[in-house]
Amino acid sequence: MRGDGEMTLDWKLIREIFDAIESKPVTQEFVSDTAFAEWDALTVSKHMRLLDHAGLIEAKLFEQPNCTLKAKAGELTMEGYTLHAKLKSDGVWGYVCKTARERSVELSIEVVKSLATKALEAILRQ
């Protein structure tokens, strides 16, 4: 979250959400929005909601009448798993960040997916 109350995508958090979902024990159904010490639960919940709406994770969303939001993440979708697999590579992630910075573009989900695919294709051609 930015200081002015607007939300921006925090890709460190997104990658950690992906990691937490992938590494949760089979007996654990969900990853809670309180499982991330570096971020408050509302910020995590908002990111989980965005990832759910983007079709990258399956999440349970609980929106209260007083505008509070609670979320818990269940599983990665196939598209989410594919993106997560690409972003696990520090080389791919470094390329994504460097290219976006050089071209002055925001790291939206679509930009990250596109650049991660290009980075992986370049690595595989070598």
pLDDT tens digit string along 46-61? 999 999 999 999 999 9
Cβ-based burial of 68 (10 A; exposed 0-12, middle 13-18, buried ≥19): exposed
Residue that the structure tokens 């890709």 belong to: 11
For 46, the token pair is: 């908002």
For 24, the token pair is: 């949760």
pLDDT tens digit string along 65-106? 877 899 999 999 999 999 999 999 888 999 999 999 999 999
Residue that the structure tokens 């989900």 belong to: 109
- pTM, two decimals, is 0.89
